């Protein structure tokens, strides 16, 4: 059983998946920091110094200055500002992944088209292998290529 597990783990696609998950987690932290520490302050400054993370609605009808105050008071809140931060984070990650895939596709070598391995029978127009001496459909003799 250990040998089967080792063979499973050592397959290329499992290792590639593991590396992708680890890099994705690290990349996610970088993007989250970029959104939270760089982009959100710039957007909030442009929108009149609005802090997205403090945009919320207290569901008990009371007013609180910050989200932390509402949480300390035990009020249920609808945190749409935090949701906006997550959506911005998602859009930036998606765009960055799009750019990476687009760049990788530019460097990817295009496979040369394979030469055809079939031809058309001149008698019945069915598809037959290039090396066929007789058509399987109509039995007409063929010239071998």
Instruction: Please give the backbone phi and psi of residue 21, each rounded to the nearest 5 degrees, phi first.
Output: -65, -45
On whether the CB atoms of residues 138 and 121 are closer than 8 A, the answer is: yes
- Multiple choice CATH, 2-110, 1.10.1200.120, 1.25.40.10, 3.30.428.10, 3.90.850.10: 1.10.1200.120
pLDDT of residue 49: 63
CA dihedral over 67, 71, 74, 76, signed as positive or negative: positive
Compute CA distances 143 → 9, 33, 122, 135, 136, whole Å.
51, 69, 11, 10, 14
Instruction: Cite the beta strand spans of 22-112 per DSSP E.
Output: 57-58, 77-78
d(CA 31, CA 43): 16
Low-confidence stretches of the chain (pLDDT beneath 70): 12, 49-51, 145
- Domain boundaries of the chain, sorted by first residue: 2-110, 115-145
Supply the angle between the helices 2-9 and 12-34 in degrees, to the nearest 10.
50
């Amino acid at each position: 059983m250990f040998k089967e597990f080792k063979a499973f783990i050592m397959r290329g696609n499992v290792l590639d998946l593991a590396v992708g998950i680890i890099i994705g987690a690290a990349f996610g932290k970088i993007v989250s920091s970029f959104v939270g520490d760089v982009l959100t302050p710039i957007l909030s400054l442009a929108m009149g110094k609005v802090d997205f993370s403090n945009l919320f609605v207290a569901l008990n009808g009371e007013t609180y200055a910050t989200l932390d105050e509402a949480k300390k008071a035990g009020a249920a809140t609808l945190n749409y500002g935090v949701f906006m931060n997550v959506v911005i984070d998602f859009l930036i990650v998606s765009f960055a992944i799009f750019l990476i895939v687009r760049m990788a596709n530019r460097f990817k070598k295009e496979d040369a088209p394979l030469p055809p391995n079939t031809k058309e029978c001149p008698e019945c127009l069915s598809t037959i292998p290039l090396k066929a001496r007789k058509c399987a459909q109509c039995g007409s003799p063929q010239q071998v290529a």
